[in-house]
Every structure is written in C-alpha cells, then in structure tokens.
C-alpha cells in the first residue's frame, strides 16, 4: 500500500478482524473495536493498533467509536465492517428474538456506524467501506434464515451504497468469504492447510484496497481453491 491510511475495523479482537488489524497496522493508523477486553488488549499489543471496547449493536458505542477515531486519527479513510456472529436454526424452530439480536449486530450495527461516518467521508472527498458478507448470503442453505438473510441484506445494502456513494469518490466493496478457519461459533482449532485462514481474507481485502482509486471491485466471493485435497 503506497500512502498511509486511517482504518476503523469492527470486530478486530479475533478471527478475520484481528488479521485485518495486524495487516492494516503495517500500512497506517488503526482503531479497532470488540467486546472482550482481554482479546482487545492482546491484539492491540501485538499490532500497535488502538483497541476500543465498543459493541456495534449499541448506537451510543458507535457514536463514541467515531469520536475516538476523530480524536486518535483525525478521521477515517477505510471503514471495515467486519463484526458479526452466527445463529442457525431451521424454520419452525427459530428463536425470532435471536434473529433480531443477530440483525442488530450484523445489519443495523453496520448501517448505524456507516451512517455516522459517511458524512465525514463525503467531506473528505474519498473513502473506502468494506462490508463483510458471506457466501451464505449468495445461496440459501438449511438453517440460514437468520445468518444467511443478514448477509444477503449486507450484499443488497452494499449495492445501494455503491449507487449512492460512487459520485463522492467513496468505494464500497462487499466481500463474501466461504468457510474461514477462525473461532467462528466456538469452532477453534481447525487447521486444514487447504482451507481458508483469516490471514487469506485479510490479504485479499488489503490487495483490493490497493487497487487504483479509479477501480471499483463491487463484490468478491472468496473460496479456497482446492479444499478437498488430501494431504
Ligand atoms: N469464519 C467464517 O467462516 C466466515 C465466512 C464468511 C463470512 N464471515 C464473516 O466474517 C466476519 C468475521 O468472522 P470471524 O470468522 O472472524 O468471526 P470470529 O472469529 O467469531 O470473530 C468475530 C469478531 O466480531 C466481534 N463482534 C461480534 N459481535 C460484535 C459486536 N456486537 N460489536 C463489536 N464486535 C463484535 C467479536 O468481538 P468479541 O469477541 O470481542 O466480542 C470478534 O472480534 C463476520 O462478519 C462473519 O459473518 C466469516
């Protein structure tokens, strides 16, 4: 990455977010959020980035996050909306309150934080917003009513923001990873060298951000090339 940029990364305390924080900190100033103090401190120590305890589903926390970015970095060039979690149940056995909670983070949190930052990006005359969706938002799968719908929503929202924000020099990129071996849903310990790691998604996003500013990459599905390979 050529010029130094100011990043805000949500959900940077572990998984894909933590890999993004470490990669971004090599190229600029980084503020990241999460909810687990111990994990936030560990990522901050390892990367030199600035960690902030903030829950993206809470509007006051998002207001505080934006204030913090203004104070620490004087603005934000790159917002990466990564925070998210999964809840899976078949229709007929769905806890709708759980689905609402999931949407509060995965969808409304992403919208609320972006809604607060876009006016600042418009004033700057540039900016990048990277939204983490999923291949679960590209094809309906069993038990995906809540999670899959939240990721379909992010893809649709990303298209709307592209239509709205391209004239302001703001790029919106929607990234749809397939399975990534993180701590997702407590599935710690996966280590198949043929499947995706958090680092792969971070590297792909950083490569996308490094494209010439004339170029818009609206959506990118990311798969492991040969996850079936036997070692
Ligand atoms: N892993 C996959 O297979 C996969 C595939 C496609 C897409 N994705 C997407 O990629 C993103 C990251 O997933 P991951 O696998 O890295 O998950 P992960 O290892 O479970 O990490 C999720 C991160 O999000 C944070 N987070 C969750 N809810 C939050 C909230 N309300 N406010 C602030 N931070 C919050 C967590 O912070 P705390 O732990 O501190 O609360 C954590 O840092 C998600 O949007 C997910 O949907 C993942």
pLDDT of 58: 98
Number of domains observed in the structure of the chain: 1
CA of 91 to the centre of ligand 1 (A): 24
Do the Cβ atoms of 72 and 29 come closer than 8 Å? Answer: yes
| CA dihedral for 145, 97, 177, 114, sign (positive or negative) | positive
Check which CATH number belongs to the domain holding 211 and give it.
3.40.50.720
Q: Classify residue 60: in a domain, yes or no.
A: yes
CA of 15 to the centre of ligand 1 (A): 7
Q: Indicate the pLDDT class of residue 202, thresholds 50, 70 and 90.
A: very high
| Average pLDDT along the chain | 96
Does residue 229 belong to any structural domain of this protein? no
Residue 231 scores a pLDDT above 80: no
| Residue 9 included in any domain | yes
226, two tokens: 């040969």
Of 5, 2, 16, 4, residue with least CA distance to 128: 5
Q: Which atom of ligand 1 approaches the CA of 185 most closely?
A: 20
The atom of ligand 1 lying closest to the CA of 132 is 45
The pLDDT of 193-221, averaged and rounded, is 97
Q: Residue 185 — pLDDT band, cuts 50, 70, 90?
A: confident
Taking residue 40's Cβ as centre, other Cβ atoms within 10 Å add up to: 24
Q: How confident is the model at residue 1 (pLDDT cuts 50, 70, 90)?
A: low
- pLDDT one-digit tens code per residue, 98-112: 999 999 999 999 999
pLDDT band at 188 (very low <50, low <70, confident <90, very high): confident
> Which atom of ligand 1 is least distant from the CA of 40?
40
Nearest CA residue ID for atom 44, ligand 1:
84
Instruction: Render the burial of 15-31: b for 16+ CB within 10 Å, e for the rest.
Output: bbbbbbbbbbbebbbbb
In a domain, 228, yes or no: no
Count of all residues that appear for the chain in the document? 231
Which residue's CA is the nearest one to ligand 1's atom 41? Answer: 35
Q: With a cut of 90, say whether residue 230 has pLDDT above it.
A: no
Find the radius of gyration of the CA atoms of the chain: 17
Q: Which residues line ligand 1 (CB under 6 A)?
A: 10-17, 33-36, 39, 55-57, 82-85, 105, 109, 132, 134, 177, 179-180, 182-184, 198
Asked whether residue 230 is domain-assigned, the answer is no
Domain that holds residue 210: 5-222
> For residue 189, is it within any domain?
yes
Active site positions, annotated: 147
Distance 125 CA to ligand 1 centre (A): 30
Nearest CA to ligand 1 atom 13: 16
Which among 85, 146, 177, 179 is the best mutation to test ligand 1's pocket, defined by most ligand atoms within 8 Å of the CB? 85
Overall average pLDDT of the 144-171 stretch: 98
Report, as an integer, the average pLDDT of 201-207.
Answer: 98
Nearest CA to ligand 1 atom 20: 184
Whether the CB-CB separation of 143 and 89 falls below 8 Å is answered with yes
- Would you say residue 132 has pLDDT above 70? yes
- Could you tell me if residue 231 is inside a domain? no
pLDDT score, position 201: 98
Q: How sure is the predictor about 2, in pLDDT bands with cuts at 50, 70 and 90?
A: low
């Amino acid at each position: 990455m050529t010029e130094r940029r100011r990043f805000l990364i949500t959900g940077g305390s572990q998984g894909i977010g933590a890999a993004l924080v470490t990669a971004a900190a090599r190229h600029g100033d980084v503020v990241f959020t999460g909810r687990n103090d111990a994990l936030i401190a560990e990522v901050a120590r390892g990367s030199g980035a600035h960690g902030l305890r903030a829950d993206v589903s809470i509007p006051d926390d998002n207001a505080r996050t934006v204030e913090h970015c203004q104070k620490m970095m004087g603005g934000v060039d790159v917002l990466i909306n990564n925070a998210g979690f999964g809840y899976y149940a078949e229709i007929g056995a769905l806890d709708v309150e759980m689905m609402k909670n999931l949407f509060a983070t995965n969808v409304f949190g992403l919208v609320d934080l972006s809604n607060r930052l876009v006016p600042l990006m418009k004033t700057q005359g540039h900016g990048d917003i990277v939204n983490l969706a999923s291949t679960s938002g590209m094809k309906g799968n069993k038990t995906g009513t809540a999670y899959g719908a939240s990721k379909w929503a992010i893809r649709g929202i990303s298209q709307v923001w592209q239509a709205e924000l391209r004239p302001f020099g703001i790029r919106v990129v929607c990234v749809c990873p397939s399975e990534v071996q993180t701590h997702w849903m407590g599935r710690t310990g996966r280590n198949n060298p043929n499947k995706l790691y958090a680092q792969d998604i971070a590297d792909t996003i950083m490569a996308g951000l490094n494209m010439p500013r004339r170029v818009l990459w609206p959506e990118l599905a990311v798969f492991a090339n040969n996850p079936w390979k036997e070692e």
